[in-house]
Amino acid sequence: QVQLEESGGGLVQAGGSLRLSCAAPLRTFTSYRMGWFRQTPGAEREFVATISRGGDTFYGDSVKGRFTISRDNAKTALYLQMNNLKPEDTAVYFCARSRVMVRTANRDSYDLWGRGTQVTVSP
Protein backbone atom coordinates (compact mmCIF):
# COMPACT_ATOMS: atom_id res chain seq x y z
CA GLN A 1 0.00 0.00 0.00
CA VAL A 2 1.58 3.23 -1.14
CA GLN A 3 1.53 5.90 1.51
CA LEU A 4 2.33 9.57 1.73
CA GLU A 5 4.15 10.75 4.82
CA GLU A 6 4.24 14.33 6.03
CA SER A 7 6.89 15.81 8.30
CA GLY A 8 8.09 19.18 9.50
CA GLY A 9 5.19 20.29 11.63
CA GLY A 10 5.63 21.82 15.05
CA LEU A 11 5.04 24.78 17.31
CA VAL A 12 6.01 28.24 16.09
CA GLN A 13 5.24 31.81 17.11
CA ALA A 14 3.13 34.06 14.96
CA GLY A 15 5.25 35.60 12.22
CA GLY A 16 7.53 32.59 12.09
CA SER A 17 8.11 30.01 9.37
CA LEU A 18 7.92 26.28 8.89
CA ARG A 19 8.66 24.00 5.98
CA LEU A 20 6.57 20.90 5.58
CA SER A 21 7.74 17.92 3.57
CA CYS A 22 5.86 15.01 2.10
CA ALA A 23 7.59 11.81 1.07
CA ALA A 24 5.72 10.32 -1.84
CA PRO A 25 7.33 7.04 -2.89
CA LEU A 26 5.34 6.77 -6.07
CA ARG A 27 6.98 5.29 -9.14
CA THR A 28 4.84 7.61 -11.21
CA PHE A 29 5.16 10.68 -8.95
CA THR A 30 5.94 12.90 -11.90
CA SER A 31 2.62 11.95 -13.49
CA TYR A 32 0.52 13.38 -10.67
CA ARG A 33 -0.69 16.74 -9.55
CA MET A 34 -0.15 17.04 -5.80
CA GLY A 35 -1.68 19.20 -3.11
CA TRP A 36 -1.76 20.31 0.50
CA PHE A 37 -4.85 20.55 2.67
CA ARG A 38 -5.39 21.37 6.32
CA GLN A 39 -7.99 20.58 8.93
CA THR A 40 -8.98 21.77 12.38
CA PRO A 41 -11.20 19.80 14.79
CA GLY A 42 -14.84 19.87 13.76
CA ALA A 43 -14.12 21.57 10.45
CA GLU A 44 -13.97 20.31 6.89
CA ARG A 45 -10.61 19.71 5.26
CA GLU A 46 -9.54 22.98 3.65
CA PHE A 47 -7.60 23.41 0.44
CA VAL A 48 -4.20 25.06 0.85
CA ALA A 49 -2.27 24.69 -2.39
CA THR A 50 -1.73 22.49 -5.42
CA ILE A 51 1.06 22.00 -7.93
CA SER A 52 0.96 20.42 -11.36
CA ARG A 53 3.43 17.96 -12.80
CA GLY A 54 5.20 20.84 -14.47
CA GLY A 55 5.23 23.15 -11.46
CA ASP A 56 2.17 25.32 -12.05
CA THR A 57 0.88 26.40 -8.63
CA PHE A 58 -2.44 27.52 -7.20
CA TYR A 59 -3.25 28.66 -3.66
CA GLY A 60 -6.17 29.12 -1.36
CA ASP A 61 -7.00 32.75 -0.66
CA SER A 62 -6.08 32.50 3.02
CA VAL A 63 -2.46 31.52 2.32
CA LYS A 64 -1.74 33.33 -0.94
CA GLY A 65 1.44 35.37 -0.70
CA ARG A 66 2.62 33.59 2.45
CA PHE A 67 2.88 29.92 1.50
CA THR A 68 4.82 28.33 -1.36
CA ILE A 69 4.26 24.83 -2.68
CA SER A 70 7.05 23.07 -4.54
CA ARG A 71 8.09 19.62 -5.61
CA ASP A 72 11.27 17.69 -6.31
CA ASN A 73 10.45 15.04 -8.87
CA ALA A 74 13.85 13.38 -8.55
CA LYS A 75 13.27 12.87 -4.83
CA THR A 76 9.53 12.24 -5.23
CA ALA A 77 8.91 14.82 -2.56
CA LEU A 78 6.44 17.63 -2.03
CA TYR A 79 7.05 20.72 0.08
CA LEU A 80 5.13 23.57 1.64
CA GLN A 81 7.10 26.61 2.77
CA MET A 82 4.98 28.59 5.22
CA ASN A 83 6.03 32.13 6.09
CA ASN A 84 4.46 34.82 8.24
CA LEU A 85 2.40 32.21 10.05
CA LYS A 86 -0.73 33.26 11.90
CA PRO A 87 -2.61 31.57 14.76
CA GLU A 88 -5.42 30.78 12.33
CA ASP A 89 -2.98 28.61 10.35
CA THR A 90 -3.01 26.15 13.26
CA ALA A 91 -4.22 22.82 11.86
CA VAL A 92 -3.21 19.34 10.83
CA TYR A 93 -1.67 19.56 7.37
CA PHE A 94 -2.09 16.76 4.84
CA CYS A 95 -0.42 16.12 1.51
CA ALA A 96 -2.46 14.43 -1.17
CA ARG A 97 -2.26 13.05 -4.67
CA SER A 98 -4.76 14.29 -7.22
CA ARG A 99 -6.49 11.84 -9.54
CA VAL A 100 -7.13 14.58 -12.06
CA MET A 101 -4.70 16.71 -14.05
CA VAL A 102 -6.66 19.93 -13.99
CA ARG A 103 -6.14 22.48 -11.27
CA THR A 104 -8.57 21.70 -8.46
CA ALA A 105 -9.20 22.67 -4.86
CA ASN A 106 -11.87 19.99 -4.46
CA ARG A 107 -10.72 17.45 -1.90
CA ASP A 108 -12.84 14.78 -3.60
CA SER A 109 -10.44 14.99 -6.55
CA TYR A 110 -7.59 13.72 -4.38
CA ASP A 111 -7.39 9.98 -3.88
CA LEU A 112 -4.32 9.32 -1.76
CA TRP A 113 -3.61 11.05 1.56
CA GLY A 114 -0.97 11.11 4.23
CA ARG A 115 -1.73 10.94 7.94
CA GLY A 116 -0.97 14.59 8.53
CA THR A 117 1.41 16.70 10.56
CA GLN A 118 0.36 19.14 13.27
CA VAL A 119 1.19 22.81 12.91
CA THR A 120 0.53 25.05 15.89
CA VAL A 121 1.04 28.80 15.74
CA SER A 122 1.04 30.65 19.05
CA PRO A 123 0.03 34.33 19.27
Of 99, 67, 86, 64, the closest CA to residue 16 belongs to: 86
> pLDDT band for position 25 (50/70/90)?
confident
Q: Whole-angstrom Cα distance, residue 98 to residue 81?
A: 20
Q: What is the reported pLDDT for 30?
A: 84
Which of the two residues, 102 and 27, has the higher pLDDT score? 102
CB 121 within 8 A of CB 90: yes
**45-104 per-position pLDDT tens digit:** 999 999 999 999 999 999 999 999 999 999 999 999 999 999 999 999 999 999 999 999
